[in-house]
Amino acid sequence: MLKVIQVRLREAGKITYFSTGGLKFKAGEYVIVEQDRGLEYGEVVSEEEALLETEVERPLCKVIRKTNPWDHRQIEKNKKRTKELLQICTRKINERRLPMKLVESEYSFDRSKIIFYFTSEGRVDFRNLVKDLANIFKARIELKQIGVRDEARIMGGYGPCGKELCCAKFLKDFEPVTIRMAKDQNLPLNPTKISGLCGRLMCCLSYENKTYKELLKKLPKMGQEIKTDKGKGKVIALAPLKKSVTVEIAGGKRIEVKF
Protein backbone atom coordinates (compact mmCIF):
# COMPACT_ATOMS: atom_id res chain seq x y z
CA MET A 1 0.00 0.00 0.00
CA LEU A 2 1.13 3.54 -0.79
CA LYS A 3 0.42 6.54 1.44
CA VAL A 4 -0.58 9.38 -0.85
CA ILE A 5 -2.25 12.80 -0.86
CA GLN A 6 -3.76 14.86 -3.65
CA VAL A 7 -2.08 18.17 -4.45
CA ARG A 8 -3.29 20.94 -6.76
CA LEU A 9 -0.16 22.26 -8.45
CA ARG A 10 0.32 26.01 -8.49
CA GLU A 11 -2.84 28.17 -8.34
CA ALA A 12 -5.23 26.37 -10.65
CA GLY A 13 -3.19 23.49 -11.95
CA LYS A 14 -3.98 19.82 -12.21
CA ILE A 15 -4.75 17.81 -9.08
CA THR A 16 -2.29 14.92 -8.83
CA TYR A 17 -1.43 12.14 -6.40
CA PHE A 18 1.91 12.43 -4.60
CA SER A 19 3.62 10.06 -2.21
CA THR A 20 3.84 11.42 1.34
CA GLY A 21 7.23 9.81 1.91
CA GLY A 22 6.15 9.03 5.46
CA LEU A 23 5.42 12.69 6.28
CA LYS A 24 2.09 14.01 7.58
CA PHE A 25 0.11 16.71 5.79
CA LYS A 26 -3.31 18.30 6.20
CA ALA A 27 -5.72 19.58 3.56
CA GLY A 28 -5.16 23.29 2.99
CA GLU A 29 -1.42 23.20 3.65
CA TYR A 30 1.03 24.30 0.96
CA VAL A 31 3.87 21.98 0.07
CA ILE A 32 6.91 21.67 -2.15
CA VAL A 33 6.81 18.65 -4.44
CA GLU A 34 9.18 17.03 -6.86
CA GLN A 35 8.35 17.01 -10.55
CA ASP A 36 10.05 15.41 -13.52
CA ARG A 37 12.25 18.46 -14.10
CA GLY A 38 12.51 20.49 -10.93
CA LEU A 39 10.52 21.52 -7.87
CA GLU A 40 6.97 22.83 -7.75
CA TYR A 41 4.58 24.06 -5.09
CA GLY A 42 0.95 23.24 -4.55
CA GLU A 43 -1.92 23.01 -2.09
CA VAL A 44 -2.91 19.77 -0.36
CA VAL A 45 -6.57 19.13 -1.25
CA SER A 46 -7.19 15.76 0.42
CA GLU A 47 -6.41 13.84 3.57
CA GLU A 48 -3.91 11.00 3.43
CA GLU A 49 -5.11 7.93 1.53
CA ALA A 50 -3.79 4.37 1.29
CA LEU A 51 -3.87 3.08 -2.29
CA LEU A 52 -2.68 -0.05 -4.02
CA GLU A 53 0.23 0.47 -6.39
CA THR A 54 -2.01 -0.60 -9.29
CA GLU A 55 -4.44 2.27 -8.48
CA VAL A 56 -1.86 5.01 -8.95
CA GLU A 57 -0.45 6.31 -12.21
CA ARG A 58 3.28 5.91 -12.53
CA PRO A 59 5.74 7.44 -12.00
CA LEU A 60 4.57 8.67 -8.59
CA CYS A 61 6.46 11.73 -7.42
CA LYS A 62 6.67 12.68 -3.75
CA VAL A 63 6.13 15.63 -1.47
CA ILE A 64 9.43 17.11 -0.30
CA ARG A 65 8.22 19.26 2.62
CA LYS A 66 5.79 21.88 3.80
CA THR A 67 6.41 25.39 2.55
CA ASN A 68 8.24 27.86 4.79
CA PRO A 69 8.38 31.69 4.82
CA TRP A 70 11.24 31.75 2.30
CA ASP A 71 9.23 29.56 -0.07
CA HIS A 72 6.25 31.93 0.09
CA ARG A 73 8.49 34.91 -0.68
CA GLN A 74 9.86 33.02 -3.68
CA ILE A 75 6.33 32.20 -4.87
CA GLU A 76 5.29 35.86 -4.59
CA LYS A 77 8.38 36.99 -6.51
CA ASN A 78 7.53 34.54 -9.28
CA LYS A 79 3.93 35.80 -9.43
CA LYS A 80 5.06 39.44 -9.67
CA ARG A 81 7.08 38.64 -12.79
CA THR A 82 4.06 37.15 -14.57
CA LYS A 83 3.07 40.48 -16.13
CA GLU A 84 6.55 40.93 -17.60
CA LEU A 85 6.54 37.37 -18.97
CA LEU A 86 3.19 37.96 -20.66
CA GLN A 87 4.25 41.27 -22.18
CA ILE A 88 7.44 39.89 -23.69
CA CYS A 89 5.81 36.71 -24.99
CA THR A 90 2.90 38.67 -26.49
CA ARG A 91 5.35 40.95 -28.30
CA LYS A 92 7.20 37.96 -29.76
CA ILE A 93 3.92 36.32 -30.83
CA ASN A 94 2.94 39.51 -32.67
CA GLU A 95 6.37 39.83 -34.28
CA ARG A 96 6.09 36.31 -35.67
CA ARG A 97 2.38 36.79 -36.49
CA LEU A 98 1.37 33.53 -34.83
CA PRO A 99 -2.39 32.72 -34.64
CA MET A 100 -2.51 32.21 -30.89
CA LYS A 101 -4.01 33.95 -27.87
CA LEU A 102 -1.81 34.05 -24.78
CA VAL A 103 -3.79 33.26 -21.62
CA GLU A 104 -1.36 32.97 -18.72
CA SER A 105 2.26 32.37 -17.81
CA GLU A 106 4.04 31.12 -14.72
CA TYR A 107 7.42 30.15 -13.37
CA SER A 108 8.06 26.75 -11.87
CA PHE A 109 8.90 27.14 -8.17
CA ASP A 110 12.66 26.87 -8.72
CA ARG A 111 12.53 29.10 -11.86
CA SER A 112 14.07 26.39 -13.99
CA LYS A 113 11.03 26.43 -16.30
CA ILE A 114 8.49 28.94 -17.60
CA ILE A 115 5.10 27.75 -18.84
CA PHE A 116 3.00 29.78 -21.27
CA TYR A 117 -0.65 28.79 -21.78
CA PHE A 118 -2.41 29.75 -25.00
CA THR A 119 -5.53 29.06 -27.04
CA SER A 120 -5.75 28.69 -30.80
CA GLU A 121 -8.26 27.43 -33.35
CA GLY A 122 -5.69 25.04 -34.81
CA ARG A 123 -2.16 23.74 -34.46
CA VAL A 124 0.60 26.31 -34.17
CA ASP A 125 4.26 25.89 -35.10
CA PHE A 126 5.85 27.76 -32.20
CA ARG A 127 9.36 26.28 -32.36
CA ASN A 128 11.00 29.58 -33.26
CA LEU A 129 9.00 31.35 -30.55
CA VAL A 130 10.36 28.88 -27.98
CA LYS A 131 13.91 29.67 -29.12
CA ASP A 132 13.26 33.41 -28.81
CA LEU A 133 11.90 33.06 -25.27
CA ALA A 134 14.65 30.67 -24.14
CA ASN A 135 17.30 33.18 -25.28
CA ILE A 136 15.56 36.00 -23.40
CA PHE A 137 14.76 34.25 -20.11
CA LYS A 138 17.59 31.70 -19.98
CA ALA A 139 15.18 29.01 -18.79
CA ARG A 140 13.41 25.98 -20.21
CA ILE A 141 10.30 27.13 -22.07
CA GLU A 142 7.07 25.14 -22.31
CA LEU A 143 4.09 26.29 -24.39
CA LYS A 144 0.78 24.54 -23.68
CA GLN A 145 -2.23 24.81 -25.93
CA ILE A 146 -5.40 24.65 -23.84
CA GLY A 147 -9.14 24.61 -24.49
CA VAL A 148 -11.77 27.12 -23.39
CA ARG A 149 -12.62 25.12 -20.27
CA ASP A 150 -8.97 25.13 -19.18
CA GLU A 151 -8.85 28.85 -19.90
CA ALA A 152 -11.76 29.41 -17.53
CA ARG A 153 -10.03 27.27 -14.87
CA ILE A 154 -6.88 29.37 -15.11
CA MET A 155 -8.54 32.78 -15.27
CA GLY A 156 -11.09 31.98 -12.54
CA GLY A 157 -14.29 33.88 -11.83
CA TYR A 158 -17.82 33.28 -10.60
CA GLY A 159 -20.59 31.23 -12.14
CA PRO A 160 -24.32 32.02 -12.50
CA CYS A 161 -24.82 30.55 -9.02
CA GLY A 162 -22.68 33.34 -7.55
CA LYS A 163 -19.97 30.96 -6.36
CA GLU A 164 -16.37 30.54 -7.50
CA LEU A 165 -16.03 28.43 -10.64
CA CYS A 166 -16.04 24.71 -9.83
CA CYS A 167 -13.18 24.06 -12.27
CA ALA A 168 -10.96 26.59 -10.50
CA LYS A 169 -12.03 25.60 -6.99
CA PHE A 170 -12.16 21.84 -6.65
CA LEU A 171 -12.79 19.82 -9.83
CA LYS A 172 -10.01 17.33 -10.53
CA ASP A 173 -10.86 16.53 -14.14
CA PHE A 174 -13.30 17.72 -16.77
CA GLU A 175 -16.11 15.21 -17.28
CA PRO A 176 -18.27 14.99 -20.43
CA VAL A 177 -21.41 17.16 -20.20
CA THR A 178 -24.51 16.61 -22.37
CA ILE A 179 -27.85 18.28 -23.06
CA ARG A 180 -29.51 15.10 -21.77
CA MET A 181 -28.19 15.97 -18.30
CA ALA A 182 -29.87 19.38 -18.46
CA LYS A 183 -33.13 17.71 -19.48
CA ASP A 184 -32.90 15.21 -16.61
CA GLN A 185 -32.44 18.13 -14.20
CA ASN A 186 -35.51 19.91 -15.62
CA LEU A 187 -33.50 22.96 -16.67
CA PRO A 188 -34.50 25.35 -19.46
CA LEU A 189 -32.60 24.45 -22.62
CA ASN A 190 -31.47 28.03 -23.08
CA PRO A 191 -27.71 28.26 -23.77
CA THR A 192 -27.40 31.39 -21.62
CA LYS A 193 -28.93 29.53 -18.66
CA ILE A 194 -26.93 26.30 -18.79
CA SER A 195 -23.53 27.51 -20.05
CA GLY A 196 -20.57 28.56 -17.94
CA LEU A 197 -18.10 31.40 -18.47
CA CYS A 198 -16.23 29.21 -20.95
CA GLY A 199 -19.30 29.06 -23.19
CA ARG A 200 -19.64 25.30 -22.72
CA LEU A 201 -22.28 23.43 -20.72
CA MET A 202 -21.75 23.95 -17.01
CA CYS A 203 -19.60 21.31 -15.26
CA CYS A 204 -22.12 21.01 -12.42
CA LEU A 205 -24.57 19.37 -14.83
CA SER A 206 -22.20 16.41 -14.97
CA TYR A 207 -21.17 15.85 -11.36
CA GLU A 208 -24.68 16.54 -10.03
CA ASN A 209 -26.35 14.28 -12.60
CA LYS A 210 -26.00 11.10 -10.54
CA THR A 211 -27.85 12.72 -7.62
CA TYR A 212 -30.68 13.87 -9.86
CA LYS A 213 -31.03 10.41 -11.39
CA GLU A 214 -31.29 8.81 -7.94
CA LEU A 215 -33.90 11.35 -6.83
CA LEU A 216 -35.94 10.97 -10.03
CA LYS A 217 -36.20 7.20 -9.47
CA LYS A 218 -38.31 7.94 -6.38
CA LEU A 219 -40.72 10.23 -8.24
CA PRO A 220 -43.53 9.41 -10.70
CA LYS A 221 -42.93 10.11 -14.38
CA MET A 222 -44.04 13.21 -16.25
CA GLY A 223 -47.61 12.73 -17.51
CA GLN A 224 -48.27 9.86 -15.12
CA GLU A 225 -51.66 9.78 -13.39
CA ILE A 226 -51.42 9.44 -9.60
CA LYS A 227 -53.73 9.53 -6.59
CA THR A 228 -53.56 12.45 -4.15
CA ASP A 229 -55.58 13.44 -1.10
CA LYS A 230 -57.35 15.89 -3.45
CA GLY A 231 -58.21 13.21 -5.97
CA LYS A 232 -56.57 11.81 -9.10
CA GLY A 233 -54.36 14.03 -11.22
CA LYS A 234 -51.62 14.13 -13.82
CA VAL A 235 -47.98 14.93 -13.06
CA ILE A 236 -47.04 18.09 -14.97
CA ALA A 237 -43.74 19.08 -13.28
CA LEU A 238 -40.95 17.43 -11.28
CA ALA A 239 -38.89 18.96 -8.47
CA PRO A 240 -36.32 16.27 -7.58
CA LEU A 241 -34.38 18.40 -5.08
CA LYS A 242 -37.61 19.13 -3.19
CA LYS A 243 -38.66 15.49 -3.63
CA SER A 244 -42.03 16.63 -4.93
CA VAL A 245 -44.12 16.86 -8.08
CA THR A 246 -46.75 19.26 -9.33
CA VAL A 247 -50.06 17.56 -10.10
CA GLU A 248 -52.97 18.95 -12.07
CA ILE A 249 -56.28 17.70 -10.69
CA ALA A 250 -59.88 18.14 -11.77
CA GLY A 251 -60.88 21.68 -12.65
CA GLY A 252 -57.31 22.59 -13.68
CA LYS A 253 -56.16 23.13 -10.09
CA ARG A 254 -52.48 22.45 -9.43
CA ILE A 255 -51.10 21.06 -6.18
CA GLU A 256 -47.66 20.04 -4.92
CA VAL A 257 -47.27 16.46 -3.73
CA LYS A 258 -44.31 15.41 -1.58
CA PHE A 259 -42.65 11.96 -1.81
Residue at 241 is within a domain: yes
Please report the pLDDT score of residue 172 as a whole number: 73
Percent of the chain clearing pLDDT 70 (strictly above):
98
Residue at 188 is within a domain: yes
Question: Which CATH number characterizes residue 92's domain?
Answer: 3.30.300
CA–CA dist 56, 16 (Å, integer)? 10
Q: Are residues 141 and 160 in the same domain?
A: no
Q: Are residues 46 and 90 in the same domain?
A: no
Using an 8 Å Cβ cutoff, are 63 and 23 in contact? yes
Residue at 173 is within a domain: yes
pLDDT digits (tens, 9 = 90+) for 116-155: 999 998 999 999 999 999 999 999 999 999 988 888 888 8
Please report the pLDDT score of residue 10 as a whole number: 76
Q: Are residues 134 and 164 in the same domain?
A: no
> What's the whole-number mean pLDDT along residues 81-103?
94
Q: Which of 46, 67, 88 is at the close of a domain?
A: 67
pLDDT band at 191 (very low <50, low <70, confident <90, very high): confident
Q: Is the dihedral of CA 121, 125, 131, 132 positive or negative?
A: negative
pLDDT digits (tens, 9 = 90+) for 193-250: 899 988 899 999 998 898 998 898 899 998 899 988 888 999 998 888 889 999 998 8
> What's the whole-number mean pLDDT along residues 158-175?
84
Higher pLDDT pick, 46 / 38:
46
Q: Which of 88, 116, 146 is at the close of a domain?
A: 146
First to last CA, the chain: 44
Please report the pLDDT score of residue 186 as a whole number: 81
- Domain with 62 in it: 2-67
pLDDT band at 59 (very low <50, low <70, confident <90, very high): confident
Q: Which of 36, 67, 98 is at the close of a domain?
A: 67
Percent of the chain clearing pLDDT 90 (strictly above):
36
Q: Are residues 101 and 128 in the same domain?
A: yes
- pTM for the model stands at 0.73
Number of domains in the chain: 4
Residue at 220 is within a domain: no
CA–CA dist 145, 198 (Å, integer)? 15
The yes-or-no verdict on residue 93 having pLDDT over 70 is: yes
Residue at 72 is within a domain: no
CA dihedral of 173, 179, 184, 190, whole degrees rounded to 10: 110
Q: Are residues 84 and 132 in the same domain?
A: yes
Please report the pLDDT score of residue 73 as a whole number: 93
Q: Are residues 210 and 162 in the same domain?
A: yes
The yes-or-no verdict on residue 12 having pLDDT over 80 is: no
Using an 8 Å Cβ cutoff, are 40 and 32 in contact? yes
